[in-house]
């Protein structure tokens, strides 16, 4: 039996698509991308080009995203340029090599749609696509369940405090090393 949770099914579907894309790209001679590099590339495709915005969307630290972007810059796929709307900020853009990579990726993704259509039926594939392309609206909070309770909230707070204390002793600053939401 498949997992009954839609979120797991969506993740499995995404991973299948991404794995097929990566293997297909490699078969053409393109370099292998890690999952995080692939995710950054998808955000650039969505015109989400500020590293801080990519980090916020992926719920990763800016440092982690800058590291991933740096690896793609080193390989000649991306470049960092000044934001024309805000000179204080650098944005990510595809290089000529990156644009060629994107062209092949688009062709492969279209081909994967045909493969999936053959597997599940063209009408089902188009129905699935139309459902997933609908506007879902902003994120919502669903208050089901009981939450961690007071004891666990205290455990979370003391664990974060210990992490802050450990980082300040190591000279890394009071908040570094603690994963937090980027505002």
Q: Would you write out the chain's pLDDT as a tens digit for each of its 183 residues?
A: 677 899 999 999 999 999 999 999 999 999 999 999 999 999 999 999 999 999 999 999 999 999 999 999 999 999 999 999 998 999 999 999 999 999 999 999 999 999 999 999 999 999 999 999 999 999 999 988 888 777 777 777 777 776 666 655 555 544 444 444 443
In this prediction, residue 165 carries a pLDDT of: 62
Q: What is the spatial distance between Cα 176 and Cα 167, in angstroms, rounded to a whole number?
A: 7
Residue 21 half-sphere exposure toward CB, CA atoms < 13 A:
23
In this prediction, residue 113 carries a pLDDT of: 95
Hey, how many other C-beta atoms are within 10 angstroms of the C-beta on 77? 24
The secondary structure element, H or E, covering residue 80 is strand 78-83
In this prediction, residue 4 carries a pLDDT of: 84
Least Cα distance to 70 among 36, 104, 22 occurs for 36
In this prediction, residue 159 carries a pLDDT of: 77
pTM exceeds 0.85: no
In this prediction, residue 131 carries a pLDDT of: 94
Q: What is the spatial distance between Cα 8 and Cα 18, in angstroms, rounded to a whole number?
A: 15
In this prediction, residue 178 carries a pLDDT of: 42
In this prediction, residue 87 carries a pLDDT of: 86
């Amino acid at each position: 039996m498949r997992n009954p949770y839609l979120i797991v099914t969506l993740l499995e579907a995404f991973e299948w698509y991404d794995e097929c894309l990566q293997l297909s790209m490699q078969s053409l001679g393109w370099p292998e991308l890690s999952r995080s590099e692939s995710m950054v590339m998808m955000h650039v495709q969505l015109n989400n080009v500020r590293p801080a915005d990519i980090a916020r969307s992926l719920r990763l630290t800016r440092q982690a995203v800058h590291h991933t972007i740096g690896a793609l810059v080193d390989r000649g796929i991306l470049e960092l340029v000044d934001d024309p709307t805000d000179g204080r900020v650098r944005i990510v853009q595809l290089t000529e090599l990156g644009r060629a990579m994107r062209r092949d990726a688009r062709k492969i993704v279209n081909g994967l749609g045909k493969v999936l259509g053959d597997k599940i039926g063209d009408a089902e594939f188009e129905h699935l696509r139309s459902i997933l392309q609908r506007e879902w609206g902003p994120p919502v909070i669903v208050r089901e369940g009981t939450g961690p309770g007071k004891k666990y909230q205290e455990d979370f707070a003391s664990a974060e405090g210990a992490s802050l204390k450990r980082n300040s002793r190591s000279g890394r600053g009071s908040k570094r090393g603690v994963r937090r939401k980027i505002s």
